[in-house]
Amino acid sequence: MNKIKYEEDYYLWTQTMVEKFKNKDYLNIDWDNLIEEIEDLGKSQKRAVESLLLRLTEHILKLKYWETERERNKKHWQSEVVNFLVLLRKRLKESPSLKNNLAEIYEETLLDSKRSMSKLFDLPEQIELTLAQVLDEDWFPN
């Protein structure tokens, strides 16, 4: 019955599970779906960090290498860098263990950023952009 509720009305299922926990009705908890949901929550946090880091690096690459558009868009891109950095810091504060994977996540997202941005403008073979620079709220490329 819990599985049907889960598939038919997710919100109702969540509220039902909360009530069962509050009432310590552990025998009637939909454990399989609950475990899956908790796993998905962790994956969602990681994906959010990846997404923010991707957007952050894309805008830094624009600032650093997109010369023909830099003057017109510089302030907007800088603002976006600040916004994405703020949101990234908040996510990492909520889930500090993700900091342990940040270097690995950064390497992957930098490759994705380079692939994406290379469709807009020419990038050099070697990109000089460290994770420390990306996370430094006072650093902007010249």
How far are the Cα atoms of 73, 104, 128, 136 from residue 132, in angstroms, in the given order?
Answer: 24, 13, 11, 6
How far are the Cα atoms of 18, 35, 41, 136, 137 from residue 131, in angstroms, in the given order?
Answer: 40, 33, 25, 9, 12
- Cα(20)–Cα(30) distance, rounded to whole angstroms? 10
Percent of the chain with pLDDT over 70: 97
Question: Could you state, in order of their start, the residue ranges of all structural domains in the chain?
Answer: 2-135
On the 0-12 / 13-18 / 19+ scale of CB atoms within 10 A, 49 is buried
User: Which of 2-11, 26-35, 42-51, 75-84 shows the lowest per-residue confidence on average (mean pLDDT)?
Assistant: 2-11
pLDDT digits (tens, 9 = 90+) for 18-52: 999 999 999 999 999 999 999 999 999 999 999 99
pLDDT of residue 7: 83
The answer to whether the pTM exceeds 0.75 is yes
If you ran DSSP here, which 8-state letter would residue 98 be given? G
pLDDT of residue 50: 97
Per-residue pLDDT, averaged over 59-85, amounts to: 96
What's phi and psi for 91, nearest 5 deg?
-60, -45
User: By three-state DSSP, how is residue 105 classified?
Assistant: helix
